[in-house]
Amino acid sequence: MLAAHRLCKSFGGLRAVDGASIEVSQGSIAGLIGPNGAGKTTFFNLISNFIRPDQGRVLFDGEPIQHLQPHQIARQGLVRTFQVARVLSRLSVLENMIFAAQRQRGENFWYAWWPCTEVAQEERQLRDRAMTLLESVGLDQMAQTYAGALSGGQRKLLEMARALMTEPKLVLLDEPAAGVNPTLINQICEYILTWNREGLSFLIIEHNMDVVMSLCDRVWVLAEGRNLADGAPVEVQRNPQVMEAYLGQ
Ligand SMILES: Nc1ncnc2c1ncn2[C@@H]1O[C@H](COP(=O)(O)OP(=O)(O)OP(=O)(O)O)[C@@H](O)[C@H]1O
């Protein structure tokens, strides 16, 4: 479903991503791990084209996507969340959901000429979908609350639910468990597993190894911007090179 081949990105003299590759198959939950500064978030930024790679190729559903804008990539069915949840604090939880979906549609001159009834119908459909998703993550009672009033964990939930507004095929989650209490971490894992059973694929950056072990069917390890290992979670966990990269010799 996703194949990123030999991606490279330098910031000045620093090679943040140095020829790393990854593949994610349809229906899977893949993990992307590695020590701090390994290049994981930069790798996400390259896949979703928030940052242009210096070299490399990204194929999604067999088609090259690196010439597309992030919102166009989202429309193809590849969406992402951020390490620090990006919510619009002065909009309500519900408005955050609807706004995200409208933005993914992109600028469309003809949309302004659509009959009002069709626009109203689309708005209604977006609202219904938003409420269904908010309910699925337990935020429906907070639909009218300002997003700025949510806790860190609730913001993560909102960001995940918002990513699903456009009915994506693959979601890139950047540290869904970071800064979240253990009870909510378990809930987040349950939500991810439920969405996966419904057909959604995931690529997840995560430092919490319990989360990685319980969710992922395949794990890719980056160190210093390069591939260090990949395989089943237990194999990767036992790999001496991986242990060394994490702990130092
Ligand atoms: N915009 C940028 N400008 C300069 N250096 C950057 C930029 N973004 C990332 N870096 C550097 O690139 C390297 C990789 O950073 P990145 O955030 O991708 O690592 P990471 O594996 O996600 O780390 P962590 O697990 O700590 O979030 C780091 O040394 C970081 O300081």
Q: pLDDT tens-digit profile of 144-197?
A: 999 889 988 898 999 999 999 988 999 999 999 988 888 899 999 999 999 999
- Residue 82 is predicted with a pLDDT of 77
Q: Which residue is it, tokens 């540290």?
A: 175
Closest Cα to atom 26 of ligand 1: 36
The pair of three-digit structure tokens given for residue 219, joined into one six-digit string: 């794990």
Which of 10, 14, 52 has most ligand 1 atoms within 8 Å of CB, for mutation?
Answer: 14
Ligand 1 binding residues, C-beta < 6 A: 11, 14, 16, 34, 36-42
Cβ atoms within 10 A of the Cβ of 55, count? Answer: 14
DSSP SS3 for 80 = strand
The pair of three-digit structure tokens given for residue 241, joined into one six-digit string: 């090179």
The pair of three-digit structure tokens given for residue 229, joined into one six-digit string: 């290992």
> What percent of the chain has a predicted confidence (pLDDT) above 90?
67
Q: State how beta strands 226-231 and 55-60 pair.
A: unpaired
0.95 surpassed by pTM: no
For the chain, domains (ranges, CATH) are: 2-247 (3.40.50.300)
Least confident residue range of 35-44, 49-58, 78-87? 78-87
